[in-house]
């Protein structure tokens, strides 16, 4: 096909993906009570799964109550008449995007399928599935771990013990924080896929990643300290360990790609 024909083909793949996302967005918009009361506002409840699990883990490893969090009574303020409506639209769009992400990848795979050799179809098809799974795992990681720990630290943080400054959290700030942390976490968990393609293009090698492993560990620890502002090491390790496992998985994938290149 010509270049314009390729663009036309890509357009229809994107149109189908957008249609699925819009349909899922409308469904999410209609189930606002469940999405907001159960999912979005879940971390504001003391009986949230993550709080009970972290507290139990702290007791099991002998850390006492250091990982137990007491949630403040939630009061989210709105400062404008349109704030609730537009945040409702935003969260509905994110739900459609997250749920439709595997279909989006599938459509992109169908677009590039004719350009692949027979021996390349299998691995790329597998990586479409892996990319979808990693993204959803990242979303869950951000929602169940990163956001609850960061939010509870920030909302309880006091610059002064005098009590002059009182945190009055807004609905808009809350939605912005939870959506940003979950999406960023989902994107970070796509690192093995990015490493796969960078290695295929010859930009990255497993030797390079092994050489700078210590630097990567330092960056991971700093990132964990920033993401979880709580000063206790246990909470930081809960975040740092999965990120380090992700890095080692990326090294393994890079080595696997190089091995396949040599075999062919």
| CA-to-CA dists, residue 236 to 35, 184, 232, angstroms | 29, 18, 7
CA separation for the pair 79, 151 (Å, rounded): 20
Element (H, E) at 3: helix 3-30
pLDDT tens digits for 115-135? Answer: 656 665 566 677 778 888 999
pLDDT tens digits for 180-191? Answer: 889 988 988 988
CA separation for the pair 39, 34 (Å, rounded): 7
Taking Cα atoms as reference points, which of 190, 207, 184, 182 lies closest to residue 258?
A: 207
pLDDT tens, N- to C-terminus, the chain (264 residues):
666 776 777 788 888 999 999 999 999 999 999 999 999 999 999 889 888 888 888 888 777 777 778 887 678 889 888 999 999 999 999 999 999 998 988 888 777 776 656 665 566 677 778 888 999 999 999 999 888 888 887 887 788 888 788 888 889 999 998 998 899 889 889 888 888 888 887 888 888 998 889 998 998 888 777 766 566 676 678 778 888 999 998 899 888 888 877 776
Q: Which long-range contacts (CB under 8 A, 24 or more apart) does 65-71 make?
A: 66/232, 66/234, 66/235, 67/232, 67/234, 67/235, 69/148, 69/149, 69/152, 70/46, 71/43, 71/44, 71/45, 71/46, 71/152
């Amino acid at each position: 096909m010509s270049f314009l024909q390729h663009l036309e083909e890509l357009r229809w793949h994107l149109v189908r993906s957008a249609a699925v996302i819009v349909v899922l967005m409308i469904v999410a918009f209609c189930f606002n009570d469940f999405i907001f009361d159960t999912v979005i506002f879940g971390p504001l409840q003391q009986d949230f799964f993550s709080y009970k699990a972290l507290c139990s883990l702290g007791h099991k490893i002998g850390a006492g109550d250091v990982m137990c969090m007491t949630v403040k009574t939630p009061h989210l303020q709105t400062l404008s008449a349109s704030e609730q409506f537009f945040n409702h639209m935003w969260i509905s769009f994110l739900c459609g995007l997250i749920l439709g992400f595997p279909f989006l990848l599938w459509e992109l795979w169908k677009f590039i399928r004719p350009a692949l050799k027979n021996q390349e179809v299998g691995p790329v098809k597998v990586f479409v599935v892996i990319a979808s799974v990693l993204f959803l795992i990242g979303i869950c990681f951000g929602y169940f771990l990163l956001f609850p720990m960061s939010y509870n630290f920030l909302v309880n943080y006091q610059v002064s013990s005098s009590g002059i400054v009182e945190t009055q959290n807004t609905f808009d700030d809350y939605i912005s924080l939870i959506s940003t942390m979950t999406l960023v976490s989902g994107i970070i968990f796509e690192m093995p896929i990015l490493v796969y393609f960078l290695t295929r293009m010859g930009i990255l090698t497993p030797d390079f990643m092994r050489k700078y492993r210590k630097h990567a560990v330092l960056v991971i620890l700093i990132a964990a300290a920033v993401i979880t502002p709580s000063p206790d090491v246990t909470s930081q390790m809960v975040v740092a360990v999965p990120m380090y496992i992700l890095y080692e998985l990326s090294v393994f994938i890079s080595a696997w790609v190089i091995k396949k290149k040599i075999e062919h």
